[in-house]
Amino acid sequence: MTLTQNLAEDFKAPFLQELARYGHLAHELRHASTSPLALARRAGVPERHITGAMQAIHFPIITDAQPSEDGLYIGTYDGQLVYGADDPFDPEFQERIGGFVTFRAQVPAELPPPLPVATLEPAPEMRTIMDALYLMGVANIKPGELTQANFHKILLQTGRITPEDLARAYAKFAGVMYIDPTRNPPSPDVRTLLSTHLITTYRIIPYSRAGNTLTVLQADPTDTFSLVAVEDEAQGLDIRVAVASEPEIERLLLTLYRRAAQDEELIREAASRPELHDPKDQDADPNGPVAKRIRTALEEAVSNQASDIHFQPEREGMMIRERVHGNLIPRSTVPALYSAQLINQLKMMCGMTIESRLPQDKRLNLQMQIGSVSQLVRLRVSSLPSHHGDSVVMRLLPDVDTLPTLDGTGFSPQPRAGPTGHRGCQRHDPGHRPYRQRQDHPDAHHPARTQ
């Protein structure tokens, strides 16, 4: 086996796919310039899962590792003494030794669980999707409801079933596999096998390829018209259908295709207009590429259940990042030519002055269409000066109904009650404001505190 520096790149996508089998959000660990292994550790992925994923993809792992200089190790692989590192995807180590770096396992591996096995034959008693939901035992469906046309839509609208329940029912009804793309993300190698127009028009996502068979994700596998369009375009490939929930399909369309197309449009425009005299003076076109990119960033953040969106100007361009479960995840970079225009449009949306170097705070409510659901998004927006221009942080505020009560915080009864006579305790201070009302304290959701 010839160990070359470029070989490490070939292992990144399989490594993330194996991490997804443990249940980790592998799609959040992709970044063009950062090691996926470093992001996995930063996200709290257990070391035994990292070792198991590296072992499952047959990444070269050294034994008898001994410390060397500058954080490297020397150990045995395939009967040879080679360099190893805790993070072999780190390009710094590869450049330092001028070649491939093996992996030094810190703990024994925990192998990933097996992938789910598809049930290929539908049960004969299933005549409609309602029969599938009934057999699954969800929503306490009555026999009289089985004959009502499109009643599964009512079940979904009223909250009796979830989108995941409906997707699993479609998979059971059609006799195909159900896939959760959050746990098992699509392979990046098949992303361009179908045209973007077909993918966005018919809501079908290329998922994986094995030989001559292309697996695609669809929310409704009974929509044969869409499959005919896919087969016509992908001639020479056998098409296999798997089911994902509609919100997951919309999230993939947003993150993999719409955001990428908008970033490419901005890059093309920046290349064709290299000498804008003052980008701050550009008109705020609500249908322009910058405005579209802002809307997509907001939709993506809501779909990913992010707590904050960061718009941070850097030397190379405007970094757009989300804070998800405490981790700041890079999403994309807008060309530097449009940094000032993007910040100014954000300020105008919130009613701020576009004057630079002036700290500002505002609140903003936006009615947004997230997938097929209209949703009111509440934001607290902070503008702060930074080295390359003003930065903006948008905190997504949860609905009041979703805020936890004091009993729902997970504390045991004694800490909730507090010591007798403590003035900060609601139980012993009749004038104390309830926990739910204290969420509007000036510092409770201040975006600047999260940077």
Instruction: Write the CB contacts of 258 (distance below 8 Å, at least 6 apart in sequence).
Output: 200, 296
pLDDT band per the 50, 70, 90 thresholds, residue 429: very low
Instruction: Write the CB contacts of 194 (distance below 8 Å, at least 6 apart in sequence).
Output: 204, 206, 216, 230, 233, 234
Instruction: Write the CB contacts of 227 (distance below 8 Å, at least 6 apart in sequence).
Output: 204, 218, 239, 241
pLDDT band per the 50, 70, 90 thresholds, residue 7: low
Percent of the chain clearing pLDDT 70 (strictly above): 80
Q: Between the CA atoms of 197, 201, 205 and 211, what dihedral angle is there, to the nearest 10 degrees?
A: -60
pLDDT band per the 50, 70, 90 thresholds, residue 274: low
Q: Is the predicted pLDDT of residue 258 greater than 60, yes or no?
A: yes
Give dist(CA 208, CA 216) in Å, integer: 7
Degrees to nearest 5, angle at CA 18 with 15 and 19:
90
**What pLDDT digit, counting tens, does each position of 353-380 carry?**
988 888 999 999 988 877 667 788 999 9
Which residues are bridge partners to 308 per DSSP? 323, 395
Q: Is 114 left (phi over 0), alpha (psi -120 to 50) or beta?
A: beta
Q: Is the predicted pLDDT of residue 242 greater than 90, yes or no?
A: yes
Q: How many CA atoms lie within 13 A of 226 on its CB side?
A: 20
**What pLDDT digit, counting tens, does each position of 436-445 carry?**
444 444 444 4
User: Does pTM top 0.85 for this prediction?
Assistant: no
Mean pLDDT rounded to a whole number for the chain = 80
Q: Is the predicted pLDDT of residue 285 greater than 80, yes or no?
A: no
**What pLDDT digit, counting tens, does each position of 30-47 carry?**
776 788 888 888 888 889
SS3 for 218? strand
Q: Which amino acid is at 327?
A: N
Q: Is the predicted pLDDT of residue 112 greater than 80, yes or no?
A: no
Query: What pLDDT is attached to residue 430?
Result: 45
Cβ 35 vs Cβ 87: under 8 Å: yes
Residue 249: other Cβ atoms inside 10 A: 22
Comparing CA positions, the residue from 159, 119, 157 lying closest to residue 135 is 119
Give dist(CA 132, CA 124) in Å, integer: 11
Name which of 62-66, 185-189, 414-418 the model is least confident about: 414-418
Highest mean pLDDT among 120-124, 312-316, 422-426, 439-443: 312-316
Residue with tokens 């086996």: 1
- Between these two residues, 341 and 441, which has the higher pLDDT value? 341
Give dist(CA 339, CA 251) in Å, integer: 25
pLDDT band per the 50, 70, 90 thresholds, residue 404: low
Highest mean pLDDT among 21-25, 290-294, 315-319, 393-397: 393-397
pLDDT band per the 50, 70, 90 thresholds, residue 100: confident
pLDDT band per the 50, 70, 90 thresholds, residue 418: low
The Cα-based distances of 333 to 14, 169, 260, 292, 313 in angstroms read 25, 39, 11, 14, 9
Q: Is 344 left (phi over 0), alpha (psi -120 to 50) or beta?
A: alpha
Q: Which DSSP string corresponds to 5-53?
A: TTHHHHHHHHHHHHHHHTT--GGGG--SSS-HHHHHHHTT--HHHHHHH
Q: Is the predicted pLDDT of residue 207 greater than 80, yes or no?
A: yes
- Between these two residues, 253 and 282, which has the higher pLDDT value? 253
Q: What average pLDDT score do residues 125-137 get?
A: 86
